[in-house]
Amino acid sequence: MDITFLFLLGLFFAAIGIVPPGLLNMTVAKVSLKEGYARGIMFSVGACLIVAVQTSIAAVFAKYISNHPDVVDVLQRAAFVIFVLMTIYFLVLAQRQPKPVEQQEARSKQSRFFQGMFMSAINVFPIPYQAYMTLTFASFGWMEFDKISIISYVTGAVMGTFVMFYIYIFFFDKIKSKKFTTQKNMNYIIGAITGIIAIITLIKIIQEL
C-alpha cells in the first residue's frame, strides 16, 4: 500500500473532522489571542501528541471497537459527564472579571502544552471516528492494519489536526479586533460548544438505551 496515499488520507480526514468549531480548536484560538502565538502553538503540539495516541488506538483496535459497542457506550457516558462539567466551568468563567495581564502571562508554555494534552485526552470522539474511518478504508482495500500503514495514517492525521489548529490561530488573529473575540465572549462560545456536544452525546446515549 502506498504510504503517501495513506498519509494524505489521514491528513485530509483528520482535518475534515476538526473543521467545525469545537472545544480544541476554539481553545487554541482563545489561548493564542490571550497569550500569543507561541503558547497557542504549544497547546496545539500537546493536543496533537494525544491525537497521535488516539488515532493509533483507533487504528489498532478498530475491529475490536466496532464489534464491542459497549466500549463506545462507556466512552460516551464519560464524555457526557466531562462536557457538562466543562460547560458549567466556561459559562461561570465568562461571568467573572478578566484577570490582570500580568497574571495571565505567568502561565508557562509548558503548562499550555500539558493543557493541550489534557483537553485532547478528554475529547474521546476521535477514537470512534478514526476507528470508523480506518475500517472503511480497509473495506475499500486502501489500508491494511500493518505497522507501516498505521504509522503513515497516524502521521497524516496528526499533521491534518495541526494544520487546522494553525488555520484557527491565523484566522482569529486576523479578526482579533472583532467584538466576539473578547475573553468573555470566547468563554461563552466554548461553553456553548461543550454544551451542544453534551446534548448530542446525551441524545446518542438515550437512543442506544
Q: What are the sequence ranges of the domains in the chain?
A: 3-208
Residue among 164, 137, 141 nearest 58 (CA): 137
What does the pLDDT read at residue 105?
A: 47
* Grid cell listed for 203: 441524545
Q: What is the pTM of this model?
A: 0.67
CA-CA distance, 85 to 177, in Å (whole number)? Answer: 30
Residue appearing with cell numbers 497547546: 43
How many Cβ atoms from other residues are within 10 Å of residue 10's Cβ?
29
Instruction: Please calculate the CA angle 179-19-23 and round it to the nearest 5 degrees.
Output: 65
Task: pLDDT tens for the chain, 209 residues: list them.
Answer: 578 888 998 898 888 777 666 778 888 888 888 888 888 899 999 999 999 998 988 888 776 765 666 666 676 677 677 778 767 876 776 566 555 444 444 456 678 888 889 888 887 778 777 877 787 787 777 888 788 888 999 999 999 999 988 888 887 776 555 555 455 665 676 677 667 767 877 887 787 66
Q: How far apart are CA 95 and CA 160, in angstroms?
A: 34
Instruction: Give the three cell numbers for residue 57.
Output: 488506538
Exposed e or buried b for every residue in 197-208, given b needs 16+ CB within 10 A? Answer: bbeebeeeeeee
Following DSSP, what letter does each residue of 93-138 receive, concatenated? HHHSPPPPHHHHTTS-HHHHHHHHHHHHHH--THHHHHHHHHHHHH
What nine digits make up the cell of 156? Answer: 497524516
Residue 163 and residue 44: Cα distance in Å, rounded? 10
**Structure-block grid coordinates of residue 7:** 498519509
**pLDDT for the residue numbered 178:** 59
What does the alpha-carbon distance between residue 87 and residue 194 come to, in Å, rounded to a whole number?
A: 5
Cα separation of 70 and 64, whole Å?
11
